[in-house]
């Protein structure tokens, strides 16, 4: 059975991807420093997949941890999630973000080339598009100047992959540009578990519903959208995890020194207020929210054109926004 290294594999998207890989007959090998995740996830993963996950605690900038892993396991491919991702923090601590997010990819690629590990799927982001001029965005939509150091690290990492593959290192790479991951595993055993104040909308919604937070602030209701609030493309985390499996399968069929990029979204945009209303309707409860001023740096509206990933990888989302809101709330209710 092939073993796939998942950096950041104890995190939100990484843990769900570990489940999908295990269900497909692959063996996930998780590397995580637990800086934005919890070791409790490993026990929950064991409950879902029926076996204790292989786990290494370590820093993805540390070459020694990769040496340790490959001495004990033959790694067939890598999914590289590990990155700091708080947009606001990145503007305060840019060097921390550049060193970790870009530096870890450089260490990893150099190690992969030395050890002959062929395949890597990179966790990119729709932040590379900035505020697009034309919607929906395709993979050929021009990338814009990033709104934050975090967003810029994703652009730079994509460029690193392009330049590295051009040098003919004997690897195959795909960048997946995520839109807005939401939801949780249908078992409610794993889900999004932010440390401290959430940076994303859905944990703010679920924590408000649970009484952990007093209210949600909707940043602006006077944008050029159907109800004045910002539009995003919200994709269920299990669909996103499945896209990584499809990307690995596709890479295995390509010649060496291959690179491509795919949007991973639903192809639909929903406003923030629509998401709040959907959560209330699906879960039969009322949320305390208020309209606040616009927030600096917010993209007004963005959603994906998914024709490429649909046709090339044969991937289609199977979860609805209603599914995402139900699964998110079930996950929150199960937290102690």
Enzyme catalytic residues: 150
According to DSSP, the residues that pair with 57 across neighbouring strands are: 32
- Contact between 82 and 8 under an 8 Å Cβ cutoff? The reply is yes
Q: Hey, what are 3's tokens? A: 């073993």
- Contact between 190 and 45 under an 8 Å Cβ cutoff? The reply is yes
According to DSSP, the residues that pair with 119 across neighbouring strands are: 77, 172
Tell me how far CA of residue 216 lies from CA of 63, 231, 288, in angstroms: 42, 17, 6
Strands (E), the chain: 3-7, 27-32, 54-57, 75-80, 119-125, 172-178, 180-182, 216-219, 231-232, 234-236, 258-264, 270-271, 289-292
CA distance 75 to 30: 11
31-64 burial, b at 16+ Cβ within 10 Å, e below that, comes to bbbeebbeeebbebbeebbeeebbbbebbbbeee
- Contact between 10 and 42 under an 8 Å Cβ cutoff? The reply is yes
- Contact between 69 and 107 under an 8 Å Cβ cutoff? The reply is no
CA distance 57 to 36: 12
Q: What is the DSSP letter of 138?
A: P
């Amino acid at each position: 059975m092939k073993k796939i290294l998942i950096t950041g594999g104890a995190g939100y998207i990484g843990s769900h991807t570990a489940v999908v890989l295990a269900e497909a007959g692959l063996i996930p090998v998780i590397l995580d420093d637990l800086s934005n995740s919890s070791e409790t996830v490993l026990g929950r993963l064991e409950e879902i997949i029926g076996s204790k996950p292989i786990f290494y605690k370590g820093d993805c900038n540390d070459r020694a941890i990769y040496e340790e892993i490959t001495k004990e396991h033959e790694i067939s491919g890598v999914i590289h999630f590990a990155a700091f991702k708080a947009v606001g923090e990145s503007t305060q601590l840019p060097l921390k973000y550049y060193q970790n997010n870009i530096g870890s990819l450089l260490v990893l690629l150099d190690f992969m080339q030395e050890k002959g590990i062929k395949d890597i799927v990179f966790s990119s982001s729709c932040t590379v598009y900035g505020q697009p001029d034309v919607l929906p965005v395709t993979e050929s939509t021009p990338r814009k100047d990033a709104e934050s150091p975090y967003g810029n690290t994703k652009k730079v990492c994509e460029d690193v992959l392009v330049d590295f593959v051009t040098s003919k290192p004997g690897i195959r790479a795909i960048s997946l540009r995520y839109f807005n991951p939401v939801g949780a595993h249908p078992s409610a055993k794993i889900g999004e578990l932010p440390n401290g104040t959430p940076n994303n909308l859905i944990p703010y919604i679920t924590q408000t519903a649970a009484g952990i937070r007093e209210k949600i602030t909707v940043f602006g209701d006077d944008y050029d959208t159907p109800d004045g609030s910002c539009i995003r493309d919200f994709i269920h985390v299990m669909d996103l995890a499945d896209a990584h499996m499809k990307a690995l399968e596709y890479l295995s069929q390509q010649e060496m020194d291959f690179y491509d990029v795919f949007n991973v979204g639903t192809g639909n945009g929903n406003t923030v207020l629509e998401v709040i209303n959907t959560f209330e309707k699906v879960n039969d409860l009322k949320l305390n929210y208020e309209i606040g001023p616009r927030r600096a740096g917010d993209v007004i509206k963005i959603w994906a054109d998914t024709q490429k990933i649909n046709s090339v990888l044969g991937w289609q989302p199977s979860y609805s926004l209603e599914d995402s809101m139900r699964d998110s709330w079930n996950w929150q209710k199960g937290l102690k």
